């Protein structure tokens, strides 16, 4: 019974992430139509609305009430995540394996966007990371899974700090 409850929670989280990505994409399309290509928004001039972001975008989607410790370089952490391509299609998920990923921050074990985007997190915090190509897999991509020059999105939940 306990295992089926955990699976139900994981399934609900996956559905929430997919729904969030879908709604976010349609909101982004509406904003593009409203502001148009080449318009100025928040001081940034966009010459191409489909261009990847210049920098890492970190959005905290859940912040726990009590944070006793935040991640820092050198910490070994466990994270659950779902990675999505620019079209919203998931390409990898620790939830589907029912096993969080264990990494040590600052040791080059993950892409630079993760190294930067996971710093300062609290246990149980959730973030959406939007990672431009130069902080992900660059011009080459990671064939056949990640296309060249892909901006990637990750929903990440910090499970533990060792």
pLDDT above 90: residue 15: no
pLDDT above 80: residue 81: yes
Give the pLDDT of residue 54.
81
**CATH number of the domain that residue 78 is part of:** 3.10.50.40
Per the annotation, the verdict on 111 as an active-site residue is yes
Cβ atoms of residues 143 and 109 within 8 Å: no
Per the annotation, the verdict on 81 as an active-site residue is yes
pLDDT digit string (tens) for 30-79?
Answer: 333 332 333 333 333 333 445 567 899 999 999 999 999 999 999 999 99
Give the pLDDT of residue 27.
39
In 123-134, which positions are buried (b, 16+ CB within 10 angstroms) versus exposed (e)?
A: bebbbbbbbbbe
Active-site pick, 82, 95, 103, 154: 154
Per the annotation, the verdict on 48 as an active-site residue is no
pLDDT band at 161 (very low <50, low <70, confident <90, very high): very high
Predicted TM-score (pTM) of this structure: 0.69
- Split into its structural domains, the chain has a count of 1
Per the annotation, the verdict on 161 as an active-site residue is no
Per the annotation, the verdict on 91 as an active-site residue is yes
What's the number of CA atoms in the CB half-sphere (13 Å) around residue 16? 14
Per the annotation, the verdict on 5 as an active-site residue is no
Radius of gyration of the chain (CA): 17
CA pair distance 156, 93, nearest whole angstrom: 10
Q: Which domain holds residue 18?
A: 2-161
pLDDT digit string (tens) for 84-97?
Answer: 999 999 999 999 99
């Amino acid at each position: 019974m306990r295992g089926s409850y955990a699976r139900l929670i994981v399934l609900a989280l996956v559905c929430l992430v997919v729904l969030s990505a879908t709604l976010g994409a349609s909101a982004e399309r509406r904003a593009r139509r409203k502001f148009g290509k080449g318009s100025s928004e928040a001081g940034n001039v966009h010459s191409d609305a489909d261009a990847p972001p210049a920098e890492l975008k970190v959005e905290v989607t859940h912040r726990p009430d009590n944070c006793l410790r935040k991640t820092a370089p050198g910490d070994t952490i466990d994270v659950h995540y779902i990675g999505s391509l620019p079209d919203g299609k998931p390409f990898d998920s620790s939830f589907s394996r029912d096993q969080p990923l264990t990494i040590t921050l600052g040791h080059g074990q993950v892409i630079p966007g993760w190294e930067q985007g996971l710093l300062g997190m609290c246990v149980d915090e959730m973030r959406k990371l939007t990672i431009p190509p130069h902080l992900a897999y660059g011009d080459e991509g990671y064939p056949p899974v990640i296309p060249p020059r892909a901006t990637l999105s990750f929903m990440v939940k910090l499970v533990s700090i060792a």
